[in-house]
Amino acid sequence: MVDPPSVPDDLLTDWRRADDTTETLFSAAGVTVTARLLRYEDDYLRARIRERAGVDRSWRFFLAARLELTPQPPVTGALRGLVAAQASRGFANRLGDRGFDAVDRVERRMLRIGDHEARLFGYDSRCPVDSVTLSVDGWLAVWAPDRAFRLAGGAYPTGVVDATDDETADALRDCLDPSAFRSDLFALLRGIA
């Protein structure tokens, strides 16, 4: 059984743990990667938008995972690259599974998490919801603070890009704060141990 990642509970007070799963992510180059994945949804934002716009769904999510590699090889640059590439593709696929369209990886850089450097991937996408389409940003960090890799990421709406119902679109715009959403997500990323 893979141990769960340590998450910053103090930053998740308005969030609800939606999933706690263990799954095999992929097998490649003789290594099987199994993950313990925790996924959280922002219940405060969900309730606020439901009240103002009448639309009920999850708007922001955060995930954290601890990966176990079998057999447990030494963590090398090549292995880091393999895990990061597979995780990046998997995250884009998960966004698609959650109803996001036109998912594009638009950024790749390093992010300091504690004493470690994480590979950070940025994504742009669209999310059609009822009579509106939202632009969405997603981020995924991948790093190995010990012999176990960590993944952490999430996605949040950044704006209304198309709407047939102006009232719903205006109510959504009033609830969206992409700058705060990004800041929250990056604080959560940096809080994973």
The helix/strand/coil state of 170 is helix
pLDDT of residue 13: 93
Residue whose entry in the numeric block shows the structure tokens 């190995």: 144
Prediction pTM value: 0.93
Where are the domains positioned within the chain? 9-99+110-120+141-154+177-190
Give me the DSSP letters along 58-80: ---EEEEEEEEEES-----HHHH
| 117-128 pLDDT per residue, tens | 999 999 999 999
Structure tokens, 52 = 């103002």
Instruction: Classify 168 in phi/psi space as left (phi over 0), alpha (psi -120 to 50) or beta.
Output: alpha
| 71-116 pLDDT per residue, tens | 988 888 988 998 899 899 999 998 998 889 999 999 999 999 999 9
